[in-house]
């Protein structure tokens, strides 16, 4: 393997599940103009490279490589003590409000607002109120039907959460969605805590309003910061993952902020992007081999 002999500034975890070999590692080091293979985390899947180049430069060179994810971090311990995760289009593959709107016959209208909000083009709280207003009069029982028929966890999500929790990490699902969806999903995936909005219900139908505070970008950040204080953790101890513009503050505040199949605004703000693998790849990013994963 190539070695530059310089000071190690970056650990780059190269992830290409089922296809990572010596030639691919050499190609990565060739693009970087130096560095060395530090260790295999799981042979054929993930490996750490030691690089004497700043992290931002490593990302610029290696990101966008077909079917390869790269997670760059400073050298030193990197297993995290806290996971704060968004739900819609992150821990699950859908936007719950869009799917719920389909039962009300307004999915296209709601989905267009959702997309603009997640791109950062609209104020989140105002966009949420507008979308919830379009659900007024919908039977509350449709929520359970929607959960059963439409909502599916993202690949690797449960493994990420349950493995980190088994290893002592605090795990929190924080969502701009609704507790009626977030509570069962949090339970299913193994989260210890959750935060979300509350849909207003009267006479078994949706009122078209929410109750209590709006869980927006500021609220997500507040959850991360308050838990960090409660647990006596440093900034570097936290991992946050999300997909939309309303996740930017918590992603920027985390020790490792990851954009998962994300909108461009969040991808630009995150420490790393995960575009080609499931959420369990974030265990490799922490140096945890597959033999230590909790798999359902």
Taking the chain, what is the end-to-end CA distance rounded to the nearest angstrom? Answer: 37
Q: Identify the pLDDT of residue 217.
A: 94
Residue 3 has pLDDT above 80, yes or no: no
User: Does 30 reside within a domain?
Assistant: yes
Please choose, from the candidates 128, 111, 107, 127, the residue with its C-alpha nearest in 3D space to the C-alpha of residue 197.
Answer: 128
Residue 28's domain comprises 10-73
What are the pLDDT digits (tens) for 40-71? 999 999 999 999 888 888 888 888 788 899 99
Q: Are residues 181 and 270 in the same domain?
A: yes
Q: Identify the pLDDT of residue 204.
A: 94
Q: Are residues 215 and 89 in the same domain?
A: yes
User: Does 112 reside within a domain?
Assistant: no
Show which residues are catalytic: 86, 88
What are the pLDDT digits (tens) for 111-129? 999 999 988 898 899 999 9
Q: Are residues 61 and 162 in the same domain?
A: no
Q: Are residues 257 and 162 in the same domain?
A: yes
CA 67 to chain centre: 18
- Quote the number of domains for the chain: 2
What are the pLDDT digits (tens) for 207-252? 999 999 999 999 999 999 999 999 999 989 999 999 999 999 999 9
Provide the CATH number for the domain around residue 268: 3.40.50.1000
Residue 273 has pLDDT above 80, yes or no: yes
Q: Identify the pLDDT of residue 2.
A: 41
User: Does 129 reside within a domain?
Assistant: no
pTM metric for this prediction:
0.93
Q: Identify the pLDDT of residue 258.
A: 98
Residue 133 has pLDDT above 50, yes or no: yes
Q: Residue 6: pLDDT band by 50, 70, 90 thresholds? A: low
Task: Give the position of tokens 């650990």.
Answer: 11
């Amino acid at each position: 393997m190539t070695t530059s002999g310089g000071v190690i500034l970056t650990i780059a975890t190269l992830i290409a599940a089922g296809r990572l070999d010596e030639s691919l590692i050499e190609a990565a080091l060739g693009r970087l103009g130096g560095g060395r293979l530090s260790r295999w985390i799981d042979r054929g899947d993930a490996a750490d490279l030691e690089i004497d180049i700043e992290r931002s430069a490593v990302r610029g060179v290696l990101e966008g490589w077909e079917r390869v994810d790269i997670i760059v971090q400073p050298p030193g311990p990197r297993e995290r003590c806290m996971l704060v995760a968004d739900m819609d289009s992150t821990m699950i593959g859908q936007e719950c409000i869009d799917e719920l709107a389909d039962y009300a016959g307004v999915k296209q209208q709601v989905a267009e607002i959702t997309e603009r909000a997640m791109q950062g083009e609209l104020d989140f709280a105002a966009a949420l109120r507008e979308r919830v207003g379009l659900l007024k009069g919908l039977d509350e029982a449709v929520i359970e039907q929607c959960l059963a028929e439409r909502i599916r966890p993202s690949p690797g999500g449960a493994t990420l959460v349950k493995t980190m929790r088994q290893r002592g990490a605090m795990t929190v699902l924080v969502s701009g969605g609704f507790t009626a969806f977030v509570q069962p999903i949090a339970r299913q995936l193994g989260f210890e805590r959750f935060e979300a909005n509350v849909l207003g219900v009267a006479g078994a139908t949706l009122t078209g309003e929410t109750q209590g505070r709006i869980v927006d970008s500021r609220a997500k950040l507040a959850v991360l910061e308050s838990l960090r204080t409660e647990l006596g953790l440093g900034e570097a101890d936290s991992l946050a993952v999300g997909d939309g513009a309303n996740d930017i503050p918590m992603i920027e505040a985390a020790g490792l902020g990851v954009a998962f199949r994300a909108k461009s605004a969040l991808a630009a703000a995150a420490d790393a992007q995960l575009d080609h693998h499931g959420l369990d790849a974030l265990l490799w990013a922490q140096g945890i081999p597959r033999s230590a994963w909790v798999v359902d």
